[in-house]
Chains A and B, each alone.
Chain A
Amino acid sequence: MILDSLDLTAQQFTAGTGWEIKPEGACKGEVCVPLGRPRDFDLVATAERLRMALVHDEAEGLWALGPESLGDRSLVTAAAPELVLDDLEGREFRLSSLRGQKVLLVSWAPY
């Protein structure tokens, strides 16, 4: 997730990472990681708790937040994460819109 500052709302964090900030902590599927009841969303503390890399390119004025690594595997839950991407015409598609059907999600590339 690309950031131009560390001033992020919980909603933006959820949209970018798939982790929801709830009273019980940061949650994805059935997995919840306690955050120690902070009053306001704290990106740096949350990233540290979820073992997400936070990389700064000072010269370019950008930050990037890597995905969670707290479970040592790329999936912490079998619940499919939401995937929101555009098609060729710029129409937004949500993976969750196919709930109720089996989905074969195929990655390819023109290289």
Chain B
Amino acid sequence: MVTVSLEMSGAEASRPYIEAAAPEHPSLLDPSHRMDALFGVVNIPNVVWIDEQGMVVRPAEPGWPESQGVRLRALSEAMPKVGRAPGAPPPPTAAADLRTQLASGQDRSTYADAVRDWVTKGAASEHALSADEVVARSQPRSMATSQAAAHFELAQQLWRTGRRDAALGHFRECHRLQPDNWTYKRQAWSAVSEERVGGDVGRFVQGPVEGEEDAWPFASDFRSDVAVLAPGEYYPKTL
């Protein structure tokens, strides 16, 4: 196993989690989201299976390396009241709650079993795909997606070198060009909420603090965007 942290702000944001896990496998940092450009990752967690010959046998898909249900961090006490981005889509009247949304789609409880099946049986596993299937089932990539990736690269480079306003413009552009790329959105939302809130929960707020909506620099926010999804759309079922 190789784990890759898609976090632009530097090693310190990822360090506590990596040190707590004390992994024996390589644990890498991917500040410019190379995983998105190279493998078509659009959300986290995402998993890619690669065989002994270096061939992808399952393209990037939502997956969990151990059997687990939905675990939302216990953040409620420290979490500020979160508002909505002024331009966010209105919530549907019957919107499912966040936990229900995140639990729909890919089955968390059986994903690790599918991995074990492949480890045991190799190419004979029903989950190992042919090369043609791998390509066909990898994420769509249009010129707009390529433009989104270029804008994201500019955004993270400018953000990391302190050019905040210029970075925000490129974040907004990559969100517009590839609205279903959740790592581009969550990265940007978390960076701004971390600035404002900080502490253990800053990166998880991902929306404006209630009462400060006008200062939020993005068209939407995490809760508003997830609320308008159909069941299974956030972590699509691929297995």
Contacts and interface: CB of A to CB of B under 8 A. Distances in A.
Interface string B145-164: 11111110110011000010
Contact of B18 (A88, A95, A105): A88
Nearest to B37: A67
A73 interface: yes
B232 interface: no
A74 B59 contact: yes
Nearest to B122: A102
Given A72-B141, A102-B52, A104-B49, A60 B163 contact: yes
B154 A85 contact: no
Interface in B161-191: 163, 166, 170, 183, 186-187, 189-190
Contact of B4 (A51, A71, A108): A108
B158 A111 contact: no
Given A57-B154, A80-B54, A74 B1 contact: no
A102 B28 contact: no
Contact of B187 (A78, A99, A106, A109): A109
A18 interface: yes
A60 to B, nearest CB: 5
B26 A78 contact: no
Interface string B25-50: 01111101011011111001111111
Q: How large is the interface on B (under 10, 10 to 19, 20 to 34, 35 or more residues)?
A: 35 or more
A36 interface: no
A78 B154 contact: no
Interface SS majority for chain A: loop
Interface residues of A, number: 51
Contacts of B119: 102
B78 interface: no
B14 interface: yes
Contact of B44 (A75, A93, A109): A109
Given A60-B163, A73-B135, A86-B28, A96 B54 contact: yes
Contact of B204 (A1, A2, A77, A111): A111
A55 B154 contact: yes
Contacts of A81: 38-39
A5 interface: no
Contacts of B57: 78
Interface of A: 1-2, 18, 51-55, 57, 59-60, 62, 64-69, 71-81, 83, 85-88, 93, 95-96, 98-111
